[in-house]
Amino acid sequence: MIKVDQFYTLTVSQIVEAGFILAAKELGDALLPKGIDNKSLLVGDSVEVFLYRNAADILVATTKKPKARVGEFAYLSVAATTEIGAFLDWGLPKDVLAPFAEQHRPMHEGHSYLVYLYLDKIDGRITATSKIDKVLDDDKAHDFKNGQSVDLIIANSTDLGFKAIINHSHWGVLYANDVFQRLSFGQSISGYIKHVRPDGKIDLTLQVGKESRDKYTKAIIDLLGKENGFVALHDKSDPQTIARVLGMSKGAFKKSIGSLYRQQIITIEDNGIRLLQELEPAAESIAPDNTPDSATNKHERIANLNREPIELYKILKFEGLVGSGGEAKTMIADGLVLLNGKVETQKRKKIMSGDVIEIGAERIRLQLENKDDQ
């Protein structure tokens, strides 16, 4: 059965001056006004349209998509106010009416309101109401599951956080300590069911499970990369600072740095976290060049290589510093020398595989090709 407020593929039965007549079965004929997007239609052609009734109660078809349909909520702006109510722009040529009796508070032209669309029982026309609470029933049964992906519309802020409409059918709560981005009234956003309480009330979150963990660890690694490998945040940092800097809760931060630590990607120090490995791809190599370089140029060329864990032999081979007898002693960077084929500090402390060394402002985690050669 064909109904208004639905999309259908209908056939052009005749062409008239005002447009195209479409056969809408039990509803009769529908008028599709002529427009740029349909001027090439011929009798017998099929076209997908949305059906609604205009002010004259004529069945009209349009190829445009409305911002909301019957049974859905939307944040719509008032196009005009009249003696019968406010007309809201819902994306179609004919605005939708919110009668005075269906306005939670008086609507004003140019302002936007969260409304619900329904079919008026008297005339069958699509109508809007901003009296949201009479539509949503907290005690209504539902089958939402923890972790389920849902569509949300943000409503009022409260002392706890934000109320949100779930899948156009139920209220849920986004707690403030789970929100790390700017939210606005009427905003549509994807979210997840965090927890269904024993009384049926629903707690929400904007991230969930592995997707959330991956997002958080990436945020930490990205920040470490921007801050030269060290960030002054740790498990004793206050939650407000962590949320402001990284956009996550302290609990999520502690779980993420614990995971990164176990993977030997970071080390956790008393005053912060430090990156042990660079995870970005290595910079493009420069072909070996035996032309004598100044110490400064060598320093710059070595720094260009340290975008990922580097095997020590690659540095030596790249710089061409190993003599035929392996006896040369050559400065390769501030504080580092090459002695008998091994890198040592000027204090003659041997650098071991896995050590983190500094070359200027850069840091490298050394990995020797063969530990027996250390």
Q: Residue 312's pLDDT is what? A: 36
Q: Are 263 and 220 in contact (CB under 8 A)?
A: no
User: Who has greater pLDDT, 184 or 363?
Assistant: 184
Q: Residue 23's pLDDT is what? A: 87
Give the CA diameter of the chain: 100
Which stretch of 13-17, 173-177, 286-290, 355-359 has the lowest confidence by average pLDDT?
Answer: 286-290
What predicted TM-score, i.e. pTM, was given to this entire model? Answer: 0.56
For 180-195, give one letter per residue: b (16+ CB within 10 A) or e: beeeeeeeeeebbbbe
Let me know if 36 is exposed, middle or buried by CB neighbors in 10 A (0-12, 13-18, 19+): exposed
- Find the DSSP H helices in the chain: 209-226, 239-246, 250-262, 295-303, 312-319
> Which residue in the block uniquely carries the two structure tokens 């020590």?
312
**Please, which pLDDT band fits residue 346 given cuts at 50, 70 and 90?**
very low
Candidates 253, 221, 225; CA nearest to 238 is 253
The mean pLDDT value of the chain amounts to: 75
Contact residues for 249 (Cβ-Cβ < 8 A; gap 6+): 177, 178, 180, 239, 242, 243
Q: Residue 84's pLDDT is what? A: 95
Q: Residue 255's pLDDT is what? A: 84
Instruction: For the sheet with 342-345, list strands across it.
Output: 329-333, 336-339, 342-345
Token pair listed for 184: 């606005």
pLDDT at 280 over 60: no
pLDDT at 192 over 70: yes
User: Who has greater pLDDT, 261 or 181?
Assistant: 261
User: Who has greater pLDDT, 291 or 265?
Assistant: 265
- The partner residues of 50 in beta bridges, in order of sequence, read 7, 62
Most confident of 32-46, 50-64, 124-138, 327-341: 124-138
Most confident of 10-14, 32-36, 111-115, 326-330: 111-115
Q: Residue 263's pLDDT is what? A: 66
Q: Are 51 and 24 in contact (CB under 8 A)?
A: yes
Question: Mean per-residue pLDDT for 297-323?
Answer: 33
Token pair listed for 118: 């329904």
Fold classified for 7-62: OB fold (Dihydrolipoamide Acetyltransferase, E2P) (2.40.50)
Indicate the CATH number for domain 73-134: 2.40.50.140
Candidates 72, 104, 74, 105; CA nearest to 88 is 74
**Please, which pLDDT band fits residue 116 given cuts at 50, 70 and 90?**
very high
Question: Mean per-residue pLDDT for 208-225?
Answer: 75
Q: Are 11 and 46 in contact (CB under 8 A)?
A: yes
Domain ranges of the chain: 7-62, 73-134, 149-205, 209-275, 295-373
Which 3-state string (H, E, C) describes 190-248?
EEEEEEECCCCCEEEECCCHHHHHHHHHHHHHHHHHHCCCEECCCCCCCHHHHHHHHCC
Q: Residue 209's pLDDT is what? A: 56
Q: What is the CA radius of gyration of the chain?
A: 33
**Are both 7-62 and 209-275 of the same fold?**
no
Q: Would you state the CATH architecture of domain 209-275?
A: Orthogonal Bundle (1.10)
Indicate the CATH number for domain 149-205: 2.40.50.140
Q: Tens digits of per-residue pLDDT, 164-174?
A: 999 999 999 99
Q: Are 161 and 179 in contact (CB under 8 A)?
A: yes
CA 273 to centroid of chain Cα atoms:
26
- The partner residues of 137 in beta bridges, in order of sequence, read none
